[in-house]
């Protein structure tokens, strides 16, 4: 048998999907109808917060003053790496122009989205790094207005390090508003914000579903919900490091899957023996999250060949994919579905999560089959233009008229006819559909 499950998940990302959709749709509908008061009521209900919503400059400055310099230095280090990576990505996209035929030009232009709404999660942990990933990238892209929404803590509001970071990275405004109500506030333009053209950022299943439902009315980066991670390891891998990496990402939440895929049954057994002890040694609430995630969502799969290991990883299309195996170049060339790839034991998912430079806002729940993670490109619209001399437009007009008639689109055909008649008076053209 090519795949043997030493541990099989009891649940998947789909398990609660229908219930979540219903809950989120109701909240969105109520906020759309009830506006700011409805959003504030949800902030009270879910986050027990009734303070001011738009964070003031004085609050941001007080937050910055309250943080130790070493933490600020670390945040600046991470910001610098993420900014430089985003700038390098931006440089890979360029405006272009081609003379399709003599006198007929077509081009592409790159225009940043105007208003970006960045969600920075903060329910269980204070996701400072998510503020860096979203705001910095929107700023490098050139968005004109960048709003942030993040859950407040009762009494104290948004975590001071998130306020400091969002401001450092270039946020124009920060809302103390989490979950669906935070996303809705940015999408619907509440609390004095411009309506977001694009919503980005990670979050729990409610946040991810809110973005998914709003997509179309507003752009989104991708489905970036509960974190998932897959480790590929062969017999050369260190089982203690593999186990630590799996447990490290399982702490995200009770619904964060971690998967081990290996061609070594011996390694799989060792990792499975080590994981419970590592989970037990975590502080709360991390331990409880990791324990539930390991119990309900984790899988350990043994394959016969490395080709089958790679195919299995591609089927899971994980958000994070760590390879701790020989011949890393082979894996880099072979693997096709992942949000971000971590090659070798010398790097790890947490480096990308916090500080290495690549973005940590990544596709979850299999979305890596069709998209990569957040990049500067998600904020940039690649649009096209065309311009022509009268002479150069002639062959295009003839083809347009005939194709349009064949399609039955007489109105389209006549927009070409009228130009041919104006620019080339006295000439006869064969404008009938070619059947
Ligand atoms: N895919 C990615 O790139 C990343 C994903 N994440 C994920 O982000 C998530 C963060 O989750 P949280 O800590 O919960 O923070 P969060 O900020 O996403 O969610 C907190 C909010 O959830 C709302 N909420 C809580 N219970 C609710 C309920 N029963 N109904 C409706 N709304 C409810 C509250 O309004 C609260 O403000 C984790 O699942 C983590 O794995 C984090 C970073 C990156
Ligand atoms: O899903 C993710 O990318 C998270 O692992 C990022 S973080 O660890 O929450 O910063
Ligand atoms: Zn993480």
How far is 301 from 6, CA to CA, in rounded Å? 6
Mean pLDDT of 138-145: 98
Mean pLDDT of 319-328: 98
Q: Return phi, psi of residue 155, to 5°.
A: 70, -50
The residue whose C-alpha atom lies closest to atom 15 belonging to ligand 1 is 123
Please count the other Cβ atoms lying within 10 Å of the Cβ belonging to residue 323.
28
Q: What atom in ligand 2 is closest to the CA of residue 202?
A: 1
**pLDDT digit string (tens) for 199-228?**
999 999 999 999 999 999 999 999 999 999
Mean pLDDT of 139-145: 98
DSSP string computed for 144-166: SEEEEEEPPBTTTBS-HHHHHHH
Write down the pLDDT at residue 2.
Answer: 82
Could you give the residue numbers annotated as active site? 319-320
Mean pLDDT of 289-301: 98
The tokens for 181 are 């109500």
Please count the other Cβ atoms lying within 10 Å of the Cβ belonging to residue 318.
31
Q: What is the predicted ipTM?
A: 0.99
Q: 123: Cβ below 6 Å to ligand 1?
A: yes
Q: What atom in ligand 2 is closest to the CA of residue 130?
A: 10
Could you tell me if 120 and 150 are in contact, meaning their C-beta atoms sit under 8 angstroms apart?
Answer: yes
- Using the mean position of ligand 1's atoms as its centre, give its distance from the Cα of residue 208 in Å: 8
**pLDDT digit string (tens) for 95-131?**
999 999 999 999 999 999 999 999 999 999 999 999 9
- Using the mean position of ligand 3's atoms as its centre, give its distance from the Cα of residue 156 in Å: 25
Please tell me whether 329 is known to bind a ligand: no
Write down the pLDDT at residue 16.
Answer: 86
**Is the model's pLDDT at 1 over the cut of 80?**
no
Please tell me whether 417 is known to bind a ligand: no
Q: What atom in ligand 2 is closest to the CA of residue 364?
A: 1
The residue whose C-alpha atom lies closest to atom 22 belonging to ligand 1 is 179
3 three-class SS: strand
- Which ligand has the shortest distance to the CA of 205? 1
**Is the model's pLDDT at 48 over the cut of 70?**
yes
Q: 204: Cβ below 6 Å to ligand 1?
A: yes
Query: In what helix (H) or strand (E) does residue 231 lie, and over which residues does it extend?
Result: strand 229-233
Write down the pLDDT at residue 339.
Answer: 98
How far is 195 from 184, CA to CA, in rounded Å? 10
- Using the mean position of ligand 1's atoms as its centre, give its distance from the Cα of residue 137 in Å: 21
- Which ligand has the shortest distance to the CA of 368? 1
- Using the mean position of ligand 1's atoms as its centre, give its distance from the Cα of residue 302 in Å: 32
Of 10-19, 134-143, 345-354, 410-419, the range with the lowest mean pLDDT is: 10-19
The tokens for 172 are 């124009």
pTM score of the predicted model:
0.96
**pLDDT digit string (tens) for 155-171?**
999 999 999 999 999 99
Contacts of residue 135, defined as CB under 8 A and 6 or more positions apart, other chains included, come to 118, 146, 148, 165, 166, 169, 170, 171
DSSP string computed for 88-123: HHHHT---EEEEEETTEEEEEEEEE-SEEEEE---S
Identify which of 355, 319, 311 has the alpha carbon closest to the alpha carbon of residue 336: 311
């Amino acid at each position: 048998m090519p795949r043997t499950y030493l541990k099989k998940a009891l649940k998947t990302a789909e398990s609660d999907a229908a219930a979540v959709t219903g809950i989120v749709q109701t909240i969105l509908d109520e906020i759309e109808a009830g506006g700011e008061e409805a959003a504030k009521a949800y902030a009270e209900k879910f986050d027990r917060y009734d303070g001011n919503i738009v964070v003031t400059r004085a609050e941001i400055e007080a937050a910055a003053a309250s943080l130790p310099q070493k933490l600020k230095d670390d945040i600046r280090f991470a910001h610098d790496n993420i900014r430089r990576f985003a700038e390098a990505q931006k440089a890979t996209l360029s405006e272009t122009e081609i003379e399709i035929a003599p006198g007929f030009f077509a081009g592409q232009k790159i225009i940043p989205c105007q208003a970006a709404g960045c969600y920075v999660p903060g329910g269980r942990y204070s996701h400072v790094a998510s503020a860096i990933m979203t705001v910095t990238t929107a700023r490098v892209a050139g968005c004109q207005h960048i709003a942030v929404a993040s859950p407040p803590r009762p009494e104290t509001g948004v975590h001071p390090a998130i306020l400091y970071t969002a401001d450092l990275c270039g946020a124009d405004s920060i809302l103390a508003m989490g979950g669906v109500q935070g996303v809705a506030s940015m999408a619907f333009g509440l609390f004095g914000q411009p309506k977001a053209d694009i919503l980005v950022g990670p979050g729990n299943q409610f946040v991810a579903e809110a973005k998914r439902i709003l997509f179309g009315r507003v752009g989104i980066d991708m489905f970036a919900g509960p974190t998932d991670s897959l480790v590929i390891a062969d017999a050369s891998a260190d089982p203690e490091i593999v186990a630590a990496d799996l447990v490290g990402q399982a702490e995200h939440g009770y619904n964060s899957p971690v998967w081990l895929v290996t061609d070594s049954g011996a390694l799989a057994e060792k990792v499975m023996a080590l994981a419970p002890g590592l989970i037990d040694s975590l502080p709360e609430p991390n331990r409880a999250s990791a324990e539930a995630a390991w119990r309900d969502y984790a899988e350990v799969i043994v394959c016969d060949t490395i080709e089958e290991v790679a195919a299995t990883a591609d089927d899971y299309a994980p958000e994070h994919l760590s390879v701790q195996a020989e011949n890393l170049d082979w894996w880099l060339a072979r693997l096709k579905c992942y949000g971000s790839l971590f090659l070798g034991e010398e790097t790890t998912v947490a480096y990308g999560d916090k500080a290495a430079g690549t973005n940590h806002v990544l596709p979850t729940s299999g979305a890596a089959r069709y998209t990569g993670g957040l990049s500067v490109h998600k904020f940039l619209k690649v649009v096209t233009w065309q311009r022509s001399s009268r002479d150069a437009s002639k062959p295009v007009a003839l083809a347009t008229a005939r194709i349009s008639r064949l399609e039955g689109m007489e109105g389209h055909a006549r927009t070409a006819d009228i130009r041919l008649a104006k620019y080339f008076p006295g000439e006869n053209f064969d404008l009938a559909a070619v059947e």
